[in-house]
Amino acid sequence: MTGLAALADACVRELGERAVVTDRVQLRTYECDGLTAYRCIPALVVLPETTEQVAFVVGRCHELGVPFVARGAGTGLSGGALPREDGVLIVLSRMTEVRSVDIADRRAVVQPGVVNLDISKRVAASGYYYAPDPSSQQVCSIGGNVAENSGGAHCLKYGFTSHHVTGLEIVMPDGSVERFGGRAPDPVGYDVVGAFVGSEGTLGIATEVTVRLTRSPESVQTLLAAFNGMDEAGSAVSAVIAAGVLPAAVEMMDALSIEAAEAAVRCRYPAGAGAVLIVELDGPTIEVEAQLADVEEFCRMAGAFEIRVASDDVERAQIWRGRKSAFAAVGRISPDYIVQDGVVPRTALPEVLRDIAALAQASGIRVANVFHAGDGNLHPLVLFDESKGETERAEEVSMRILDLCIEHGGSITGEHGVGHDKKKHMGRMFSNDDLDVMQLVRCAFDPASLCNPGKVFPTPRLCGERPGRRTGVHPLQEAGLAEVF
Amino acid sequence: MEVVTPSTIDDLATVLRDAAATGASVDVRGAGTKSGWGAPGRPADVIVDTTSLNTVVEHAEADLVVTVQAGTRLGELQRLLAGSGQWLALDPPEVAATVGGVVAAAASGPRRLRYGTPRDLLIGITVVLVDGIVARSGGKVVKNVAGYDLGKLFTGSFGTLGIIASCTFRLHPLPAARRVVSVSTEDPAQVADALARSTAEPAAVEWDGRAAHVLLETAAAAADPQAAEMAQLLGSDAVTDVVPASFGRRPWQSGDIALKVTHRLSCLGPAVTAIRRRWPDAAIAAHLGSGVLWAGWPAAKGLTSAELDDLRAVIASYDGTVVVVQAPPAVKDGLDVWGPVSGFAVMERIKERFDPDGRMRPGRFVGGL
Ligand SMILES: Cc1cc2nc3c(=O)[nH]c(=O)nc-3n(C[C@H](O)[C@H](O)[C@H](O)COP(=O)(O)OP(=O)(O)OC[C@H]3O[C@@H](n4cnc5c(N)ncnc54)[C@H](O)[C@@H]3O)c2cc1C
């Protein structure tokens, strides 16, 4: 019996038949995450319900030298949960228990399969919510959020997942179970919680997550401003930030994405807008009122030709609907599209947008721009038609956009992660030494390199080497004794 | 013992490479405001003084981002940033401290309630490892998830993983207006509870042992109405726009015994009581709403290992920890200043990878790391 067959048997015995998938057709369900361009059918899928079961599976993988990949809801956009054909996919979507909700402590303790939005629903009646709000929050899991350090429209003011996770239980890549942090702040020792959040499933599997609960603001105001062009909208944002106002969210969309959103959800943004800006302010009512007046003024001064302020939650939802649907909406105006995710310093936005427009012009590939304008996180949607053979050109445009981000001192990913998709670009953002030192972290957690191997890092060093001494091909690799993926 | 004062990151790397060549152990010192923190450890062969690494590399004003070398003093940086109406939203009371020291010690102050601690504001870091390798993670944009976040690991590492050479931070605008509403109270939990029930969003709430001070930092037009609301909530008419001198001060003198105690938010009252019952004369200060208490008393009153264990057992039931921040060497020598650490085995492995020979600040950190 091969290692994997033995593993499957052991899993059936330990977890029960319902928790183990070996049938090829069913396995196919798990062949990709939200980035469907990469597919791979895993050898085995297990669906544990407890920490002990996860530890059991990981422990057996460790003994047998079988690679494993964690998967939450599979909404990731960088191929982070892409399975291995020689490995196990550990799906955490059945681990949905909310262990405790302690309003007085402002903490909730949840299993990793709990859906992001469900936490907020659980505590809404007490006047609290879980702040990080990725657009996928109705389906994505907290475990996936932890792995990706997910953000959301409101992270401008409230921060990312890493600011809201205070404790973790982790099944380490050798199958041992460790706990870090918890409901009190400032745990003693190295900040392992901080290092784990955003590590994209490569350092172990989170089996319990302690999250901070945030008081719902007394007041929320949402404003939609329409401009003739992106430059005007951009200068409104600059004015808001320069005045020291910190909105909860500042989102921008260009004409093409407005067109797509209109076609998809009839969001009824002002006709003829070359750009719309959504600004949301929240906090104590008196403060929000004062800031709203300022923001309206800045928009008008920058040339807004129409400004709407939502008068209630229904109107607010209407304003957000266009923005939230934008990714999917471009499907209405283009047969195929790539969702890019890059970051530039906010002040470089106007220049980068002009460069993107020039790229689009020169290549004949349309690019719709939707982005978190407050923090310079771009989500260009590169539109193409595969049937017309435009794929390669579109990929080229998408790549060139990342070049622009790097040239401007930004990042190749603001929230979707490196995963499988962008590991080839890591070497352009970081030096070999930088990557080697990151690899020290990896080796401390997973010396055997079985935990989501082949993600994030282009050509990781073997554990046991010191950084900074890379010369040519590794001798072990050359001798065929070790494979560097 | 040799003290070296590199003034460039290259120099710093050379110092560490030289130390590696001879197997010398290395200590690192910023302004020395917290050199007494942590376990006594063993004396090092080379002491790296970072205070000449003090260049403000880039202040991208309109992006609210600054990159500074680690030896820059926090107070000086704040003065520079204030010229642009901005600040690095960290307010530990040791203003002479260097930025690298603040990060390495994860030092925080009252406004952590609104802005968090160094880990939350650090967006990029350059470090030099014990063998002289220079590495960077993060960058100069606030939103960035490319690669592991070495900044998190180095924050609070007390120099035991390598030397922080420069840091990039997210900045905040200075508030337009400020009000402080104070109320005398022996029972900080009462104030914390009242605030938890309101939708006010103070920047900080500080209890100095006698009074609670609620700091409101807000839009100009909102300041007076918010202060009036707060005064009513607390039943106080003490409203001013001057931050009291005691605000955020550590409740001890040099030479005293000093503890940092954390707790789950609902256990503030019991945590204060636990300290008071054991050391009736202890000076206590608390960052309300953050779950952090500080306590200090004169060295003459002492602290034994048994007393510390006893307090730790109670505080552990509030999910918190007790760290002996400062104590005379004679007292510290007999104590486990960090206490038990959850997940220690993993931390040991991290230390082993970054500093295999244990040459960085030997013995200063948790479990003798
Ligand atoms: C329509 C749409 C909108 C989106 N909007 C946003 C957005 O606004 N902001 C944003 O940040 N992202 C967004 N995303 C991306 C995605 O939703 C997030 O990355 C999300 O956190 C992934 O969660 P998941 O449960 O689907 O994880 P998966 O896709 O299943 O996994 C993602 C990664 O996490 C790892 N992982 C999963 N669970 C665990 C665990 N318990 N322990 C360790 N590792 C684990 C996997 O191995 C993988 O590497 C969006 C995606 C879609 C499809």
| pLDDT tens string A210-227 | 999 999 999 999 999 999
Tell me, what's the pLDDT at A1? 57
Distance separating the N- and C-terminal Cα atoms of chain A: 26
- Stretch A378-396: mean pLDDT, rounded? 95
- Please tell me whether residues A350 and A378 are part of one structural domain: yes
- Cα A187 from Cα A194, distance rounded (Å): 11
Which residue from A104, A244, A410 is facing B265, i.e. has the nearest CB?
A104
d(CA B257, CA B279): 11
Output the pLDDT for position B115: 97
Alpha-carbon Rg of chain B, whole angstroms? Answer: 21
Q: Ligand 1 centroid vs A78 CA: distance in angstroms? A: 9
Q: Which residues of chain A neighbour B148 with C-beta distances below 8 Å?
A: 195, 198-199, 438, 441-442
Element (H, E) at B14: helix B9-22
Question: Which pair of tokens denotes residue A391?
Answer: 């794929």
CB contact under 8 A, B133 and A163: no
Give the span between the Cα atoms of A110 and B34, in whole angstroms.
37
Alpha carbon distance A204, B263 (integer Å): 27
The answer on A181 and A104 residing in a single domain is yes
Within 13 Å and on the Cβ side, how many CA atoms surround B281? 9
| CA A145 to ligand 1: nearest atom | 21
Is the same domain home to A344 and A310?
A: no
A139-178 tens-digit pLDDT: 999 999 999 999 999 999 999 999 999 999 999 999 999 9
Which residues of chain B fall below pLDDT 50? none
Same domain, A295 and A316: yes
CATH of the domain at A404: 3.30.70.2740
Q: Do A426 and B144 touch (CB under 8 A)?
A: no
Q: Which of A186, A193, A203, A246 to mutate to test the interface with B (most CBs of B within 10 A)?
A: A186
Q: Quick check: A310 and A380 in contact, CB under 8 A?
A: no
DSSP H stretches of helix in B302-360:
305-316, 329-332, 344-354
Rounded-to-integer distance, Cα A1 and Cα A7, Å:
10
The residue of chain B nearest to residue A146, with distances taken between CA atoms, is B145
Residues 6 or more apart whose Cβ sits within 8 Å of residue A113: A72, A92, A93, A94, A95, A96, A141, A142, A143
Under DSSP, is residue B81 helix (H, G, I), strand (E, B) or coil? helix
- pLDDT at position A329, please? 87
Report the pLDDT value the prediction gives residue A468, as an integer from 0 to 100. Answer: 61
Distance A454 CA to ligand 1 centre (A): 17
Q: Which chain A residues are closer than 8 Å to B134 by Cβ?
A: 433
The residue length of chain B stands at 369
Structure tokens at A107: 């903490």
- How far, in Å, CA of B201 to CA of B226, rounded? 10
Same domain, A321 and A228: yes
In the listed set A333, A365, A390, which residue is the last one of a domain according to the structure? A333
Q: Which residue has the tokens 């940086």?
A: B77
DSSP-derived pairing of the beta strands A342-343 and B2-4 = unpaired
A207 and A244 part of one domain:
no
Structure tokens at A24: 């090829």
Residue nearest to atom 35 of ligand 1 (CA): A201
Ligand 1 atom 9: residue of nearest CA: A134
Phi, psi of B207 (to 5 degrees): -115, 125
For tokens 């996928």, name the residue: A136
Rounded to two decimals, the ipTM of the complex is 0.97
Pocket of ligand 1 (CB under 6 A): A 33-34, 69-77, 80-81, 92, 112, 134-136, 140-141, 143-145, 147-148, 150-152, 200-201, 205-206, 327, 415-416, 452
The confidence band for A478, taking pLDDT boundaries of 50, 70 and 90, is: very low
- How far is the alpha carbon of B47 from chain A, nearest alpha carbon, in Å? 22
Q: For chain A, how many structural domains are there in total? A: 5
The SS3 assignment for B103 reads: helix
Residue of minimum CA distance from atom 23 in ligand 1: A144
* C-alpha distance from B300 to closest chain A C-alpha (Å): 27
Residue A328 is predicted with a pLDDT of: 83
Q: How far is the centre of ligand 1, averaged over its atoms, from the C-alpha of A152 (Å)?
A: 12
CA of residue A146 to ligand 1 center, whole Å: 8
At B35, is the secondary structure helix, strand, or coil? coil
d(CA A384, CA A7): 43
Answer whether B116 sits within 8 Å of A159, measured CB to CB: yes
Least confident piece of the model among A89-98, A298-307, B190-199: B190-199
pLDDT at residue A332, as a whole number? 87
Residue A124 has pLDDT above 70, yes or no: yes
Is residue A423 domain-resident? no
Residue A104 is nearest to which of B117, B225, B266, comparing CB atoms? B266
* Statement to judge: residues A103 and A211 lie in one domain: yes
Tell me the per-residue pLDDT of A274-296, one tens digit each, with 9 for 90 and over.
Answer: 999 999 999 999 999 999 999 99
For A304-329, b/e burial (b = at least 16 CB within 10 A) is: beebbbbeeeeebebbbbbbbbbbeb
The answer to whether A188 touches B366, Cβ cutoff 8 Å, is yes
Question: What is the per-residue pLDDT for A485?
Answer: 29
CATH of the domain at A125: 3.30.465.10
User: Residue B35 has what pLDDT?
Assistant: 85
DSSP of B111-160? THHHH--HHHHEEEEEEE-TTS-EEEEE-SSSS--SS--HHHHHTTSTTS
**Predicted confidence (pLDDT) per residue in B172-190, tens digit:** 999 999 999 999 999 999 9
Residue A143 domain-assigned (yes or no): yes
A184 to B321: CB separation less than 8 angstroms, yes or no = yes
The reply to whether A278 falls in a domain is: yes
Alpha-carbon distance of A453 to B136, in angstroms, equals 22
Number of the ligand 1 atom closest to the C-alpha atom of A71: 30
CB contact under 8 A, B148 and A199: yes
The CATH number linked to A76 is: 3.30.43.10
What is the three-class DSSP state of B97?
A: coil
Which residues of A fall within a CB distance of 8 Å from B265?
104-107, 183
Boundary residue ending a domain (A333, A360, A379): A333
**Is the per-residue pLDDT at A435 higher than 90?**
yes
Taking contacts as CB-CB distances below 8 angstroms, the residues of chain B near A418 are 145-147
Q: What is the pLDDT of residue B197?
A: 87
Percent of chain A topping pLDDT 70: 95
Work out whether strand B46-49 and strand B2-4 pair parallel, antiparallel, or are unpaired: parallel
What is the dihedral sign for C-alpha B217, B223, B225, B229? positive
Q: Do B220 and A467 touch (CB under 8 A)?
A: no
Q: Are residues A126 and A138 in the same domain?
A: yes
The rounded distance, in Å, linking the Cα atoms of A206 and A112 is 7
Which burial class, exposed, middle or buried, applies to B119 when counting CB atoms under 10 A from its CB (0-12, 13-18, 19+)?
Answer: buried
Spacing, Cα B273 to ligand 1 middle (Å): 43
Q: How far apart are the CA of A305 and the centre of ligand 1, in A?
A: 38
pLDDT grade for A61, boundaries at 50, 70 and 90: very high
Using pLDDT thresholds of 50, 70 and 90, give the confidence band for residue A472.
Answer: very low
Chosen domain end from A307, A333, A359: A333
> Collapsing DSSP states into helix, strand and coil, what is residue B234?
helix
Q: Which of A439, A473, A468, A479 is nearest to A455 (CA)?
A: A439
Residues A469 and A459 in one domain: yes
Question: By the 8 A CB rule, do A78 and A413 touch?
Answer: yes
Question: Under an 8 A CB cutoff, do B85 and A244 touch?
Answer: yes
3-state secondary structure chain A: CCHHHHHHHHHHHHHCHHHEECCHHHHHCCCCCCCCCCCCCCCEEECCCCHHHHHHHHHHHHHHCCCEEEECCCCCCCCCCCCCCCCEEEECCCCCCEEEEEHHHCEEEECCCCEHHHHHHHHHHHCEECCCCCCCCCCCEHHHHHHHCCCCCCHHHHCCHHHCEEEEEEECCCCCEEEEECCCCCCCCCCHHHHHCCCCCCCCEEEEEEEECEECCCEEEEEEEEECCHHHHHHHHHHHHHCCCCCCEEEEEEHHHHHHHHHHHCCCCCCCCCEEEEEEEEECHHHHHHHHHHHHHHHHHHCCCEEEECCCHHHHHHHHHHHHCHHHHHHHCCCEEEECCEECCHHHHHHHHHHHHHHHHHHCCEEEEEEECCCCEEEEEEEECHHHCCHHHHHHHHHHHHHHHHHCCCECCCCCCCCCCCHHHHHHHCCHHHHHHHHHHHHHHCCCCCECCCCCCCCCCCECECCCCCCCCCHHHHCCCCCCC
Nearest atom (ligand 1) to Cα of A95: 41
**A243: CATH:** 3.30.70.2190
What distance in Å separates the CA atoms of residue A322 and residue A268, rounded to the nearest whole number?
8
* Dist. CA B16–CA A133, nearest whole Å: 44
Question: H or E segment at B165?
Answer: strand B163-170
Distances (CA, A) of A45 to A22, A53, A76, B345: 7, 13, 18, 30
Question: Is A412 a domain residue?
Answer: yes
Contact B289, B250 (CB under 8 A): no
Under an 8 A CB cutoff, do A430 and B137 touch?
yes
Sign of CA dihedral A425, A428, A430, A431: positive
Instruction: Give A309's strand partners.
Output: A223
- Inside any domain, residue A185: yes
Closest ligand 1 atom number to CA of residue A137: 17
> How far does the centroid of ligand 1 lie from the alpha carbon of residue B101, in Å?
35
What is the number of the ligand 1 atom nearest to the C-alpha of A200?
49
| Residue A81 sits in the same domain as residue A7 | yes
Are B42 and B32 in contact by the 8 Å Cβ rule? The answer is no
Asked if the structure places residue A228 within a domain, the reply is: yes
User: Is residue A242 included in any domain, yes or no?
Assistant: yes
Domain interval for residue A113: 98-215
Closest to B208 in 3D by CA, of B119, B285, B319, B312: B285
Mutation test of the interface with chain B: which of A171, A188, A421, choosing the one with the most B Cβ atoms within 10 A? A188
Nearest C-alpha of chain A: how many angstroms from B250? Answer: 17
Nearest CA-CA distance, residue A272 and chain B, Å: 30
Nearest CA among A208, A53, A195, A146 for reference residue B346: A195
C-alpha A280/C-alpha B191 separation (Å) is: 30
The residue assigned the tokens 């552990």 is B316
**Are residues A185 and A113 both part of a single domain?**
yes
The shortest C-alpha distance from A25 to chain B (Å) reads: 34
Residue A320 lies in a domain: yes
Dist. CA A53 → ligand 1 center (Å): 22
A-chain residues within 8 Å CB-CB of B147?
418, 426, 429-430, 434-435, 438, 456
Amino acid sitting at position A418: V
A132 and A200 share one domain: yes
CB contact under 8 A, B120 and A179: no
Cα B63 to Cα B59: distance, rounded to the nearest angstrom: 9
Cβ-based contacts of A434 with chain B (< 8 Å):
135-137, 147
Contact call for B150 and A218, based on CB within 8 A: no
Q: Do A413 and B264 touch (CB under 8 A)?
A: no
Is pTM, for the whole model, over 0.80?
yes
CB contacts of A289 in chain B (<8 Å) are 222
pLDDT (average), residues A244-262: 95
Q: Which residues contact A354 (CB under 8 A, 6 or more apart)?
A: none
The Å distance, Cα B230 to ligand 1 centre, comes to 41
Say yes or no to pLDDT of A471 above 60: no
pLDDT tens column, A168-208: 999 999 999 999 999 999 999 999 999 999 999 999 999 99
Q: Which of B134, B153, B342 sits opposite A180 (nearest CB)?
A: B342
